[in-house]
Structure 1
Amino acid sequence: MTNTILLHPTYFPSISHYVAMAQAEEIVFEVNDNFQKQTNRNRMYIHSANGMQLLNIPIKHTKEGVNQRFKDVEIEYAFGWQKQHFKSLEAAYRTSPYFEYFEDDIRPVFEKHHKYMLDLNLEIHEIITACLGVTWKTSQTEEYLKEVPEGIMDLRSLANGKKDENQFETYVQVFDDKNGFLNNLSILDLLFNEGRNAVNYLKNQQIR
């Protein structure tokens, strides 16, 4: 049976997303679902000096009660979130071992103006896999998969960070002497602290 997983593309996804991807033979991205608030589709968590910090991308909202497909969700640029997010990453990771090594790869995300959140998330996936030095087979759904075909593992729930209870081995984090180890943050936390050794780490973890 092929080890194929079904995932939502999210904003600099959690480590659990990448543990699943590093151990899969094929990754299918769900791109035909309705947008759901309070998920990692437009948010990530990083380790700041004050502990866990949420970075959230504002979106343009439709009329209340109207379902909107995620592929149609537009990013709101009126609040200067790009500058704020990059400054937060600098403050959190400037002293990490690999921030400067990957800075030029990551920075364009905060300079381009993608119209749609989905397009941004898909480009982020390409950037992160390039930083990790890996090539993974990916495809996209052609319609919303309410029932997942046999042979595909449905991991779309990982996009809901509050329900993701995966626990992973500790690694050195910039502020762990102050805050202790913070589990399952954005992949950026692992990348900036571990560099390309992150790939070995991902392959050695387990998803519930």
Structure 2
Amino acid sequence: MILLTELHYHPPAALFAELLRADSILLEAHEHYRKQTFRNRCLIRTAQGVQPLTVPVIDGNRAEKVSVSEIEIDYRQNWIHRHWRTLQTAYGNSPYFEFYADYLHDIYVSKPALLFDLNQQFLRLLLRCFRITLPLHLTTEYHAHYPATSCPPALLPSYPIIDRRDWLTPKAATKMPEPDTPAASGLVRPYPQVFGPGFEPGLSVLDLLFSQGPAAGRYLQ
């Protein structure tokens, strides 16, 4: 199948469970940007509970009228320092944080101008971390309902398109899944998290990666 999805900032682990079943990835590059989504935020678990990390964008009030591939990151705010310090505090003692930290940090300090580029660099890194080797393509135009005839030529071999755009949202817990859509909470098996008690679903895939390292894929169903 071809998995159609928007780009996220350190997406929830459930996305990677879906990617394990996919033959190719199709990234939505022509939608209008939407605020208060995983496009510019992720959820991690700290000693104080679940906490969002949000990448600030320029002209946030008008951002929803701008193509997602043109959204600029606001580096006037010292968000890189805040995010990195929070990740270090939350996961510095986890088994595999140091193993992946330098790769992540290199992307942060490169300061891509566009949110789309930042998210794409992180996605490519995370795919390597999970040893997922899939062709990655961008949409050529926006369709509310994506027709197979609009596939990029390289995708034309007859894989069905599974539309997972806006399937994962910070408010997903209050949203009933569509009949043909798997519940994200059931796609990630509970694993030992740094902070407890209990298992917190819906966190960024970084939480799983820092906890389980090369074995992280075993927890994706």
Instruction: Judge same fold: TM > 0.5, yes or no.
Output: yes
TM-score by length of 1: 0.90
Q: What is the aligned partner in structure 2 of residue 186 from structure 1?
A: 204
Tell me which amino acid in the other structure corresponds to 1:33: E
For residues 77-116 of structure 1, the aligned pairs below 5 Å read 77-116=75-114
- How many equivalent residue pairs? 199
Tell me which amino acid in the other structure corresponds to 1:118: F
1:135, CA displacement in angstroms? 1.3
- The answer to whether the aligner puts 1:157 opposite 2:166 as a matched pair is yes
1:163, CA displacement in angstroms? 2.4
For residues 1-208 of structure 1, the aligned pairs below 5 Å read 3-61=1-59, 64=62, 67-150=65-148, 151-163=160-172, 166-167=184-185, 168-177=188-197, 180-202=198-220, 205=221
d(CA) in 2 for partners of 1:30, 1:17: 15
d(CA) in 2 for partners of 1:65, 1:29: 19
Question: Residue 161 of structure 1 aligns to a residue in which SS?
Answer: coil
Tell me which amino acid in the other structure corresponds to 1:73: I
1:63, CA displacement in angstroms? 6.4
Q: Per-residue displacement from partner, 1:33-76 (whole Å, max 9, x unpaired)?
A: 00011100000000111110100010001664871111110000
Percent identity at matched positions?
32
Tell me which amino acid in the other structure corresponds to 2:162: M
Question: Residue 110 of structure 2 aligns to a residue in which SS?
Answer: coil
Alpha carbons of structure 1 residues 81 and 20: separation in structure 2 relative to 1, 3 Å? same
Conserved 8 A contact 1:31-1:141: yes
Q: Which runs of 5+ in 1 are unaligned?
A: none
1:19, CA displacement in angstroms? 1.1
Alpha carbons of structure 1 residues 200 and 14: separation in structure 2 relative to 1, 3 Å? same
Conserved 8 A contact 1:26-1:137: yes
Alpha carbons of structure 1 residues 37 and 66: separation in structure 2 relative to 1, 3 Å? closer
